[in-house]
Amino acid sequence: MYAKDNKAQRRQWEQRVERARYEVDLARRQYDAVDPENRLVGRELDLNNTPDALPAFAVVGCYAQGQTVLGNVAQARIKETDRIKVMAEELTKMGAQIEEMDDGLIIHQSNLTGAHVHGHHDHRVVMALSLAGMMADGETKIDTAESVDITFPGYVEKMCQLGAQMQVGV
Protein backbone atom coordinates (compact mmCIF):
# COMPACT_ATOMS: atom_id res chain seq x y z
CA MET A 1 0.00 0.00 0.00
CA TYR A 2 1.20 3.46 -0.79
CA ALA A 3 0.02 6.60 0.99
CA LYS A 4 1.10 10.08 0.21
CA ASP A 5 0.26 13.29 2.01
CA ASN A 6 -2.23 15.04 -0.21
CA LYS A 7 -3.48 18.32 1.25
CA ALA A 8 -6.42 18.61 -1.15
CA GLN A 9 -7.59 15.08 -0.39
CA ARG A 10 -7.16 15.62 3.36
CA ARG A 11 -9.22 18.83 3.20
CA GLN A 12 -11.93 17.00 1.28
CA TRP A 13 -12.09 14.32 3.99
CA GLU A 14 -12.13 16.95 6.74
CA GLN A 15 -15.11 18.61 5.05
CA ARG A 16 -16.94 15.27 4.82
CA VAL A 17 -16.28 14.59 8.50
CA GLU A 18 -17.52 18.06 9.45
CA ARG A 19 -20.67 17.56 7.36
CA ALA A 20 -21.30 14.18 9.01
CA ARG A 21 -20.85 15.73 12.47
CA TYR A 22 -23.29 18.49 11.54
CA GLU A 23 -25.90 15.97 10.35
CA VAL A 24 -25.49 13.85 13.49
CA ASP A 25 -25.83 16.95 15.65
CA LEU A 26 -29.03 17.95 13.83
CA ALA A 27 -30.47 14.46 14.31
CA ARG A 28 -29.45 14.41 17.97
CA ARG A 29 -31.13 17.76 18.62
CA GLN A 30 -34.28 16.61 16.86
CA TYR A 31 -34.65 13.56 19.11
CA ASP A 32 -32.80 14.70 22.20
CA ALA A 33 -34.98 14.68 25.29
CA VAL A 34 -33.03 17.37 27.12
CA ASP A 35 -32.56 21.03 26.37
CA PRO A 36 -29.22 22.88 26.58
CA GLU A 37 -29.70 23.28 30.36
CA ASN A 38 -30.16 19.49 30.72
CA ARG A 39 -33.86 19.74 31.53
CA LEU A 40 -36.11 16.95 30.31
CA VAL A 41 -38.37 18.24 27.54
CA GLY A 42 -41.48 16.75 26.02
CA ARG A 43 -41.39 15.19 22.59
CA GLU A 44 -43.76 13.53 20.16
CA LEU A 45 -42.89 9.85 20.06
CA ASP A 46 -44.15 7.21 17.65
CA LEU A 47 -44.39 4.06 19.78
CA ASN A 48 -45.78 1.81 17.07
CA ASN A 49 -42.76 -0.49 17.22
CA THR A 50 -42.43 -0.34 21.03
CA PRO A 51 -45.93 -0.46 22.54
CA ASP A 52 -44.63 -2.01 25.76
CA ALA A 53 -42.76 1.24 26.46
CA LEU A 54 -45.97 3.28 26.73
CA PRO A 55 -46.44 2.92 30.52
CA ALA A 56 -42.88 3.99 31.36
CA PHE A 57 -42.85 6.82 28.82
CA ALA A 58 -46.18 8.05 30.21
CA VAL A 59 -44.51 8.48 33.61
CA VAL A 60 -41.47 10.18 32.10
CA GLY A 61 -43.79 12.52 30.20
CA CYS A 62 -45.18 13.79 33.50
CA TYR A 63 -41.75 15.16 34.35
CA ALA A 64 -40.85 16.58 30.94
CA GLN A 65 -41.27 20.28 30.33
CA GLY A 66 -44.13 21.07 28.02
CA GLN A 67 -46.10 18.36 26.30
CA THR A 68 -45.25 14.76 25.50
CA VAL A 69 -47.26 12.90 22.88
CA LEU A 70 -47.10 9.13 22.75
CA GLY A 71 -48.81 8.21 19.52
CA ASN A 72 -49.39 5.64 16.80
CA VAL A 73 -49.69 2.93 19.42
CA ALA A 74 -53.34 1.83 19.30
CA GLN A 75 -52.19 -1.76 19.84
CA ALA A 76 -51.35 -0.82 23.44
CA ARG A 77 -55.09 -1.13 24.06
CA ILE A 78 -54.96 -4.88 23.47
CA LYS A 79 -52.10 -5.87 25.74
CA GLU A 80 -52.65 -7.38 29.21
CA THR A 81 -54.85 -4.34 29.78
CA ASP A 82 -55.86 -1.30 27.79
CA ARG A 83 -52.59 0.40 28.70
CA ILE A 84 -53.61 3.73 27.19
CA LYS A 85 -56.76 3.95 29.31
CA VAL A 86 -55.16 2.45 32.42
CA MET A 87 -52.14 4.77 32.44
CA ALA A 88 -54.36 7.81 31.88
CA GLU A 89 -56.64 6.78 34.76
CA GLU A 90 -53.94 5.82 37.24
CA LEU A 91 -51.62 8.76 36.58
CA THR A 92 -54.61 11.11 36.82
CA LYS A 93 -55.18 9.76 40.35
CA MET A 94 -51.64 10.95 41.08
CA GLY A 95 -52.29 14.41 39.67
CA ALA A 96 -51.11 14.01 36.08
CA GLN A 97 -52.53 16.23 33.39
CA ILE A 98 -53.05 13.60 30.74
CA GLU A 99 -55.36 13.16 27.80
CA GLU A 100 -56.32 9.90 26.19
CA MET A 101 -56.28 9.66 22.39
CA ASP A 102 -57.51 6.76 20.27
CA ASP A 103 -53.92 5.75 19.59
CA GLY A 104 -51.97 7.14 22.54
CA LEU A 105 -51.61 9.78 25.20
CA ILE A 106 -50.93 13.50 25.49
CA ILE A 107 -49.11 14.21 28.73
CA HIS A 108 -48.46 17.66 30.18
CA GLN A 109 -45.78 18.36 32.75
CA SER A 110 -47.31 17.51 36.10
CA ASN A 111 -46.42 17.31 39.77
CA LEU A 112 -47.37 13.84 40.90
CA THR A 113 -48.59 13.08 44.41
CA GLY A 114 -48.69 9.68 46.04
CA ALA A 115 -51.99 7.85 45.76
CA HIS A 116 -53.54 4.40 45.92
CA VAL A 117 -53.42 3.13 42.34
CA HIS A 118 -54.50 -0.08 40.65
CA GLY A 119 -51.91 -2.12 38.77
CA HIS A 120 -54.61 -3.95 36.78
CA HIS A 121 -52.60 -7.19 37.03
CA ASP A 122 -50.31 -5.79 34.31
CA HIS A 123 -46.59 -6.13 35.05
CA ARG A 124 -45.55 -3.15 32.91
CA VAL A 125 -48.22 -0.91 34.41
CA VAL A 126 -47.14 -1.88 37.93
CA MET A 127 -43.45 -1.18 37.20
CA ALA A 128 -44.30 2.16 35.58
CA LEU A 129 -46.52 3.15 38.50
CA SER A 130 -43.73 2.21 40.90
CA LEU A 131 -41.47 4.69 39.07
CA ALA A 132 -44.20 7.32 39.32
CA GLY A 133 -44.49 6.57 43.03
CA MET A 134 -40.76 6.99 43.56
CA MET A 135 -40.88 10.42 41.94
CA ALA A 136 -44.15 11.56 43.51
CA ASP A 137 -44.54 13.52 46.72
CA GLY A 138 -45.94 11.25 49.42
CA GLU A 139 -46.61 7.54 49.47
CA THR A 140 -47.97 5.47 46.61
CA LYS A 141 -49.64 2.10 47.08
CA ILE A 142 -50.07 -0.17 44.08
CA ASP A 143 -52.37 -3.16 44.22
CA THR A 144 -51.72 -6.31 42.13
CA ALA A 145 -48.00 -5.53 42.41
CA GLU A 146 -47.17 -9.23 42.44
CA SER A 147 -47.68 -9.22 38.67
CA VAL A 148 -44.16 -7.81 38.17
CA ASP A 149 -42.88 -11.34 38.72
CA ILE A 150 -44.16 -12.19 35.22
CA THR A 151 -41.20 -10.46 33.58
CA PHE A 152 -38.96 -9.30 36.42
CA PRO A 153 -38.80 -11.61 39.43
CA GLY A 154 -36.93 -9.79 42.17
CA TYR A 155 -37.88 -6.34 40.82
CA VAL A 156 -38.55 -4.85 44.25
CA GLU A 157 -35.32 -6.24 45.70
CA LYS A 158 -33.28 -4.89 42.77
CA MET A 159 -34.90 -1.48 43.04
CA CYS A 160 -34.17 -1.39 46.78
CA GLN A 161 -30.54 -2.27 46.06
CA LEU A 162 -30.48 0.82 43.84
CA GLY A 163 -31.81 2.98 46.66
CA ALA A 164 -35.58 2.84 46.11
CA GLN A 165 -37.83 2.68 49.14
CA MET A 166 -40.25 -0.10 48.21
CA GLN A 167 -41.85 -3.01 49.93
CA VAL A 168 -44.38 -5.66 49.02
CA GLY A 169 -47.40 -6.69 51.01
CA VAL A 170 -47.81 -3.65 53.24
Element (H, E) at 135: helix 123-135
What is the C-alpha to C-alpha distance for residues 20 and 100, in angstroms, rounded to an integer?
A: 39
3-class state of residue 51 by DSSP: helix
Question: Strand 141-143 to strand 104-108: parallel, antiparallel, or no bridges (unpaired)?
Answer: unpaired
Please say if 52 is a catalytic residue. yes
Cβ(110)–Cβ(97) below 8 Å: yes
Please give the C-alpha separations between residue 130 and each of 25, 59, 60, 74, 125, in angstroms, as whole numbers: 34, 10, 12, 24, 8
Give the active site residue among 32, 52, 102, 149: 52
Count Cα atoms within 13 angstroms, Cβ side, for 143. 5
Q: Give the residue numbers annotated as catalytic, written as ranges.
A: 52
